[in-house]
Amino acid sequence: MKAWQLRAFGRENLSLNEVPDPTPGPGEALVRISSVSLNYRDKLLYEGNYNPHLEFPITQVADAVGEVVALGPNTTRVKVGDRVVTNYCTRWIDGPPTTKESLYSLGNIIPGALAEYLVLSENAIALAPSYLTNDEAAALPCAGLTAWYSLVEKGGLTTGQTVLVQGTGGVSLFGLQIAHALGATVIATSSSDKKLQRAKFLGATDTINYKTHPEWQDEALALTNKQGVDHILEVVGGPNLARSIKAIRPQGQISIIGIIEGFDATIPLFGIIQKQAIIRGISVGPLRALERMLKKFNELKLHPVIDTVYAFNDARAAFDHLERGAFGKIVIRVRD
């Protein structure tokens, strides 16, 4: 089969290779991949910032949808013909996480999904809702679950609360859509006024351009009558976290998700103490949370925001797009 593999660190070392067809073992399913989507994490992987000990060659990309075409012995959770999506943390089924959840993610120490076929444990896949196209279903798993797990499962989001999402990438737009659909008020930030217009169309009540307002927390406070926001999806990290602490409401939750501006942060501890803010690390989420999210998406009929769909042979252009940043998700269609 054909697979896009990383042969060394660096985007230029991604190549389309012929590799042996995988065979499902006990408790596993063979999935014929239809579409995959890219995440910022894929960029971290090829840059060597996600796992500096990556072993090459390794097939890339975590998020996918496909059809189960064969089962290994004792595989009972899925059947041939099922359309399934991957779960990012392939060994995290439910309950409290270990510190190893993101290690066992596709394209890291196990082969990824940017290939014609993929073998996965039956506990690392969930049925894809039928109302979604393949491209939409592929867009969901990592970014969607990260936003859902942060806001709903760990954040206890309620109607009328205020959610602030940073930028218009995958996690943030899922956060916007979920929060809006559940009756929250959403403040969206972006470097682009055009993207902010599109964020309003998706349901954002207020918007802040973080390029023209680098101290965006002052705008967020002004928009909330100086009260602050209830939830922040912190995808930026680095010095941005200190701004989020200023923008959070007393006992609000900042979900620590991303590191776009840095892996380290100096933060005002007294601000956290005074506000009794909750600073919560997030590592995507377990399979059961993915299943609950898919059920809710099906009820609400939420459609992921897809920026561009690329052909399998044109995967390099998709990774170039990831470097530029997208409005929502970048999809690669593996099979029509």
What are the C-alpha distances in Å from 290 to residues 233, 254, 260, 296? 18, 21, 24, 10
**In the bound complex, which residue of the shown chain has the CB atom lying closest to ligand NAP?**
169
Residue closer to ligand NAP, measured from CB, 70 or 322? 322
The least CB distance from residue 292 to ligand NAP, in Å, is 17
Interacting residues of 50 by C-beta distance below 8 A, sequence separation 6+: 41, 44, 108
Asked whether the beta carbons of 232 and 166 are under 8 A apart, the reply is yes
Contact residues toward ligand NAP (CB under 6 A) are 39-41, 44, 142-143, 146, 166-171, 189-192, 195, 210, 235-236, 240, 257-261, 282-284, 325-326
Of the pair 72, 325, the CB lying nearest ligand NAP is at 325
Query: What's the min distance (Å) between Cβ of 266 and ligand NAP?
Result: 16
Q: State in angstroms the smallest separation of the CB of 79 from ligand NAP.
A: 30
Least distance between ligand NAP and beta carbon 84 (Å): 20
The residue among 29 and 208 lying less far from ligand NAP, judged by its C-beta, is 208
Minimum distance from residue 211 beta carbon to ligand NAP (Å): 8
Residues counted in the chain: 336
Contacts of 188 (CB under 8 A, 6+ apart): 164, 165, 168, 172, 176, 196, 199, 200, 204, 206, 207, 208
In terms of DSSP bridges, do strands 28-37 and 14-18 run parallel, antiparallel, or are they unpaired? unpaired
Residue 334 CB contacts under 8 Å (≥ 6 apart), including other chains:
33, 34, 35, 36, 64, 66, 114, 115, 116, 312
Nearer to ligand NAP, 44 or 272 (CB): 44
Taking the complex as a whole, the smallest distance from the CB of residue 147 to ligand NAP amounts, in Å, to 9
Enter the tokens of residue 140.
Answer: 């969901």
Residue 212 or 274 with smaller CB distance to ligand NAP: 212
